[in-house]
Structure 1
Amino acid sequence: MFFKSNVTMLFMIFFGFLLSIGLEFTAAQSPGVCYGMIAGNLPSKKETIDLYKSFGITRMRIYFPEAEVFEALKGSNIELTVDVAKESLQAISSNPNAAKDWVNTNIVPYSKDIKFRYITVGNEIHPGDVEAQYVFSGMQNIHDALASFNLGQIKASTAIDSSLLGKSYPPSDGAFSDAANAYMQKIINFLVPNGSPLLANIYPYFAYASDQVNIPLEYALFTQQGKNDVGYQNLFDAMLDSTYAALEKIGANNLQIVVSESGWPSFGGVGTSIQNAGAYYQNLINHVKSGTGTPKRPNQPIEVYLFAMYDENQKPGAETERHFGLLHADKSRKFPFNFK
C-alpha cells in the first residue's frame, strides 16, 4: 500500500511537471471548418460564429484578416487560423517591419480574447509562382514578429496542395516532384527548427475525378469495405501518408501535417451530389474523431479543416468551386452532419 501510494504521488508530480513545461497531450479531434467568404449572399459574421458554436465546431480558418470576424470570435474559445492575404506576401517577406505591423494590427489587439493557432503565409503557392520567393522569408518574418510580441505559441506555416507531389502511389513511395523539391526543402528548413507543422490541402475528390478508372468512388468516400492491395481503406489516408513519405525523403521525418482543407462538392462535376458530399464530410468527421490515425501514423490524431462552411457563389473557376459548403447561404444544412 505504501509503495503504491508513492508511485501514484511520483506520477502526479511528473504529470504536473510535463504540464508546467507546456507539453500538449493530444487526443482524437473534431475537425475545424474553413470560413470562405467569396459570396454576395452570406449571413453576418456574428451569425456565422453563432453557427460554429451551435454545431460544436471548435476551430476555424479564414483566408485574410477580418476585424468583424475577430470581434465576433472574442471569448468564443474557437481556435483560429488566419492567412496572410496573397496581396500582402511581398511586403511582409521583404520587410520585417511590415510583418511586425501586420501582426501588431491583426493579431495583437485580439490575442487576449481569441485563441490564434496558425498564421498561414501563402496558400497553394507553387514553385513557379511569383509568390514562391516570398514564402520562406515571409514565414520567418511573421515568426519573428510574433515572438517580439510574446506570441510565440502561434505558429507560422504555409499551406501546400497535392500537385507538388511527383509520385503518390503507393503511399510509401510518395515524393515531391523535381520542380518542388528545392521549394519544399526551404520550407521545412523553417518549419522543423521552429516546431511548426506543415499545412496541406488534401482533396480526394479531385484525385477521384481525374482518375475514375483506378480510384473507386467508395474508396474516395470512406465507404470501401476492406483494404486495398497496399493496405489502405480510404483515399484520404493514402494521400496524407504519401505527403508524409515525401517529407521523409527530404529529411523531415517527424514533421506534423495539418490538413488545412478537405472537402467534396455537391454539384458541378463528376461524382458530385448532395449524397456524396454529405457522405464524405460525415465520414471524414467520424474518421478524425476515431483517433485511429493513418496506416503510416497509426493512432496519431489528425487535425483537419473541412472546406467550407458555405457555398461561395462568387468564387471563380470550375463550377464545383462554388459548391463545397456544408450550408446554403440561408444557413440551412445541405445534408445531415454532426460534429459532436
Structure 2
Amino acid sequence: MDFRSAVSNKSFMVVAYLILGVFISCSHTITGAGAIGVCNGGIADNLPSEQEVVDLYTSNGIGKMRIYDPNQATLQALRGTNIELILGVPNADLQSVATASAANDWVQKNVVAFSPDVKFRYVAVGNEVKPTDEAAQFVLPAMMNIYNVLVSAKLDGQMKVSTSVDTTLLGISYPPSAGSFSAGASSYITPIINFLASTGAPLLANIYTYFAYISDPNTIDLSYALFTAQGTVVQDGAIGYQNLFDATLDAFYSAVETVGGANVEIVVSESGWPSAGETAATVDNASTYYKNLVDHVNKGTPKRPGKPIETYLFAMFDENQKGPAETERHFGLFSPNKQPKYKIGFS
C-alpha cells in the first residue's frame, strides 16, 4: 500500500464505490489454494529477519510473495524455495529505470543474479502511481526497458512485467459492465494496457472494500464489503453481485476491455482488512474478510465465473511505522513475533 495517507485521499474512489452497492472468531481456520499469496511489507522496526520471514511463508504453505523493493536479504532467503515472487520497482526508482542503462543494471543485479534460484513471477514497476504524479511519465518507459532486458536475458518467458494500480483510476464503476477509466487516467493507463496486451502480462490491481465501507457505512452495507450478504445487492443486467470485491474487479475488467485490453488478465496485488484502529477494524471483521476472500478466489467473478483470481493478501505482518491512520499498522496476518492473528491454511 503506497498508501492511503488518510480517508480523504480515497474520496474519488469512494464515490465510485458508493454507487456500486448500497463473523468469524480468531480461531476460525481459513483455507485456500494456489491462487493466494501474501504481501511482505517492511515498514516497521520490529520484524523478524528476512530468513525467518521466508521460513514462515514456507511453514505456512504460502506459495506466493509480493515485495515492494529488491531487498537483497529477502532475495537471498528465497533462493531454492518454490515461492513465486512479485518483485517491486519502488516509485522512487522509476525515473532512473526509465533509462535503458539503469534498467539493465537493475535487472542484472536484482533478477538475473538470482535466477533461476528465485522464482520470479512478475516485476511490478511502480505501485499506485497516479496520473498526476511526477513519476507517472516514467512508468511505461521503465516497464518497456525492464521487459527488453528480460528478453535479452531470455527470461521474458519466465516472468511478466506490469505495474500495480488502485481504484482511483476508475471514473465509472457502476454498473460493473460500464466500468471505465476516468478521463484524467485514460491517457496514462491506455498505453500501459496496450503494452500488457502485447506482452501477455496481467494488470496488477489493489482492491480494498474496507476503505469504501468506512468512508460511508450508512450507504455501503458491511455484509456487502465482507462477502456475507445473503442475496444480490447490485443487479447488472443478467448478472447479480453479492459482494463489493467482485463488483470492483469486474468494473476493472470492463475498463481494461474498453481501452484495448480484452485479453489482459487482472491480478489482485493487494487486498485486506485491518484488525484495529477503527470501529469496523476488528479481529472478527478481518477474520471474516480474509476467510471469505480466500474461499472465494477460486470461484472467479460473475463476469468471469470459474476462473481463479490470483490474489495477494495484505499483509504478512503488522507494520508499526505505517500511517498516519492507525488502521494502517494493523493489516498483518501475523504479529511481528510471528504469532498468527488467525489460523490460516493455504495449502
Give the superposition deviation at 1:338.
Answer: 2.1
- TM-score (structure 1 length as normaliser): 0.89
In structure 2, the residue matched to 1:321 is 328
In structure 2, the residue matched to 1:3 is none
Counterparts of residues 51-130 of structure 1 (less than 5 Å): 51-93=56-98, 95-130=99-134
In structure 1, the residue matched to 2:4 is none
- TM-score (structure 2 length as normaliser): 0.87
In structure 1, the residue matched to 2:169 is 164
Partner of residue 247 from structure 1, selected from 248, 253, 256: 256
Q: Which structure 2 residue ranges, 5 or more long, are not aligned?
A: 1-32
Give the superposition deviation at 1:337.
Answer: 2.1
Q: Residues of 2 paired with 1:297 and 1:99: CA distance?
A: 35
* Distance verdict in 2 for CA 1:142–1:112, change over 3 Å: same
Identity of aligned residues (%): 55
In structure 2, the residue matched to 1:30 is 35
User: AA paired with 1:301?
Assistant: P
Q: Residues of 1 paired with 2:145 and 2:259: CA distance?
A: 24
In structure 2, the residue matched to 1:273 is 282
> After alignment, is 73-82 or 266-275 more displaced?
266-275
Counterparts of residues 1-340 of structure 1 (less than 5 Å): 29-93=34-98, 95-153=99-157, 154-230=159-235, 231-288=240-297, 291-340=298-347
Higher relative contact order (CA 8 A, sep 6+): 2
In structure 2, the residue matched to 1:4 is none
Give the superposition deviation at 1:264.
Answer: 0.3
* Distance verdict in 2 for CA 1:58–1:143, change over 3 Å: same
User: AA paired with 1:299?
Assistant: G
Segments of 4+ moved more than 4 angstroms:
none
Quick check: 1:198–1:255 contact (8 Å CA) kept in 2? Answer: yes
CA deviation string 1:233-263 (max 9, x = no partner): 1111111001011112222112100000000
Q: Residues of 1 paired with 2:234 and 2:333: CA distance?
A: 33
User: AA paired with 1:204?
Assistant: T
Quick check: 1:265–1:323 contact (8 Å CA) kept in 2? Answer: yes
User: AA paired with 1:253?
Assistant: A
Q: Which structure 1 residue ranges, 5 or more long, are not aligned?
A: 1-27
Q: Residues of 2 paired with 1:173 and 1:319: CA distance?
A: 35
Q: Residues of 1 paired with 2:277 and 2:101: CA distance?
A: 44
Give the superposition deviation at 1:320.
Answer: 1.2
> After alignment, is 205-214 or 106-115 more displaced?
205-214
Quick check: 1:278–1:336 contact (8 Å CA) kept in 2? Answer: no
User: AA paired with 2:302?
Assistant: P
User: AA paired with 1:334?
Assistant: K
Q: Residues of 2 paired with 1:287 and 1:265: CA distance?
A: 19
Q: Residues of 2 paired with 1:258 and 1:211: CA distance?
A: 27
Aligned length: 310
Give the superposition deviation at 1:309.
Answer: 0.1
Bigger radius of gyration: 1
> After alignment, is 244-253 or 31-40 more displaced?
244-253
Give the superposition deviation at 1:211.
Answer: 2.5
User: AA paired with 2:334?
Assistant: L
Quick check: 1:136–1:187 contact (8 Å CA) kept in 2? Answer: yes
User: AA paired with 2:125?
Assistant: V
Quick check: 1:264–1:281 contact (8 Å CA) kept in 2? Answer: yes
